[in-house]
Amino acid sequence: MRIALVGAGAFGEKHLDGLKNVDGVEIASVISRRIEQAEEVAAKYGASHWGTELSEALALDDVDAVILCTPTQMHAEQAIACMDAGKHVQVEIPLADSWPDAQAVMDKQKETGLVCMVGHTRRFNPSHQWVHNRIVAGELAIQQMDVQTYFFRRKNMNAKGEPRSWTDHLLWHHAAHTIDLFAYQTGKIVTANAIQGPKHPELGIAMDMSIQLKSETGAICTLSLSFNNDGPLGTFFRYIGDTGTYIARYDDLVTGKEEPVDLTGVAVSNNGIELQDREFIAAIREGREPNSSIAQVIDCYRVIGELAASLEAQDGWS
């Protein structure tokens, strides 16, 4: 299985680190907007080709699949281009930054029948897998999720502290993780509300946001997001269930009393990104739909689209 990695930034390298642990996988090409970065990362991970344009990788006959870690605004168009070229594709979250673009990618997947998977990593983190397994087994029913997604990003910097060429978004990117996970754990979302704080004068995005969700099972979710938080960074999930309370911090899980939960045996790795990539490769090899396929996550973007429209309407009232 030969993979092209497009977008060789901080998150792209996380995928490359994960792929090193999957048998029978080779990195065929590395694409970055800066040729120096593409060449450097290609050398580090043994890729024989590097370049600055997606089309260069798609023209290679020996590329089986593409992983897109590019700016949000490019995701939908590039995912469609990959499938038009006959390549399976995993596109990092978010799938798109508009509901029509998300639908267009879904239509292309139906047309081609290729594997199109979206990087909703929370489905793969061992912490959330452990909770999901208990739900499926009928041992836990979620009553409420309380989620905090906090970063300090008053300047346009990436996870490595380097200048970013694009602007991140609380709703289309970071809220998408929780919206999809809430539906994955509790059922289809039937009610969604959102409010946001002032927009940053330079970045042009809201820096604080609050979202409420309710699923068809009656479970509720409260999500707080901020790019203004100068404190512990990351996303913290509190599951309040009928038989227990659990707090998930990426790949780790504790009880409501901060007692560690043993995740041994939940998956072959404790790295959610690696597990996500393993699922992508396995689905291609086995000719099946992957967990976090576009079909499984598309409703998340329907909800986000509705929330985006409501926030625009609220801005019109102010």
Please list the rounded mean pLDDT of every run of 10 residues in the chain (318 residues).
95 96 97 96 97 98 96 96 98 96 98 98 97 98 96 63 63 94 98 93 86 98 93 90 96 96 95 97 98 98 96 73
Whether 96 and 135 map to the same domain: the answer is no
**280: in domain:** yes
Whether 162 and 311 map to the same domain: the answer is yes
Q: How many CB atoms are located within 10 Å of the residue 22 CB?
A: 17
Whether 13 and 84 map to the same domain: the answer is yes
- The whole-angstrom separation of Cα 235 and Cα 279 is 23
**295: in domain:** no
Question: Dihedral of the CA atoms 4, 58, 7, 34 (nearest 10)?
Answer: 120
Residue 167 belongs to what domain range? 122-267+302-317
User: Which pLDDT value is given to residue 203?
Assistant: 76
- The whole-angstrom separation of Cα 294 and Cα 274 is 19
Whether 137 and 253 map to the same domain: the answer is yes
Beta bridge partners of 193: 212
User: Which pLDDT value is given to residue 64?
Assistant: 98
Distances (CA, A) of 158 to 23, 74, 122, 149: 30, 17, 20, 16
CATH number at residue 196: 3.30.360.10
Whether 58 and 203 map to the same domain: the answer is no
Whether 204 and 310 map to the same domain: the answer is yes
Distances (CA, A) of 253 to 21, 78, 148: 23, 35, 15
Whether 259 and 280 map to the same domain: the answer is no
Q: How many CB atoms are located within 10 Å of the residue 24 CB?
A: 8
User: Which pLDDT value is given to residue 318?
Assistant: 43
- What pTM did the predictor assign? 0.93
The SS3 assignment for 201 reads coil
Strand pairing class (142-150; 65-68) = unpaired
What is the edge-to-edge ordering of all strands in the sheet holding 142-150? Answer: 189-196, 208-215, 220-226, 142-150, 234-241, 245-249, 252-255
In the chain, how many domains are there?
2
User: Which pLDDT value is given to residue 206?
Assistant: 86
Residues 6+ away with beta carbon under 8 Å from 35: 50, 51, 52
Distances (CA, A) of 277 to 71, 168, 192, 284: 19, 23, 30, 11
Reference 124, options 236, 300, 291, 262; nearest CA is 291
- In 200-300, at which residue ranges do the beta strands (DSSP E only) sit? 208-215, 220-226, 234-241, 245-249, 252-255
Reference 170, options 100, 228, 212; nearest CA is 228
Whether 114 and 85 map to the same domain: the answer is yes
3-state helix, strand, coil in the chain (%, to 5): 40, 25, 35
User: Which pLDDT value is given to residue 160?
Assistant: 59
CATH number at residue 87: 3.40.50.720
Contact indicator for 68, 75 with CB cutoff of 8 Å: yes
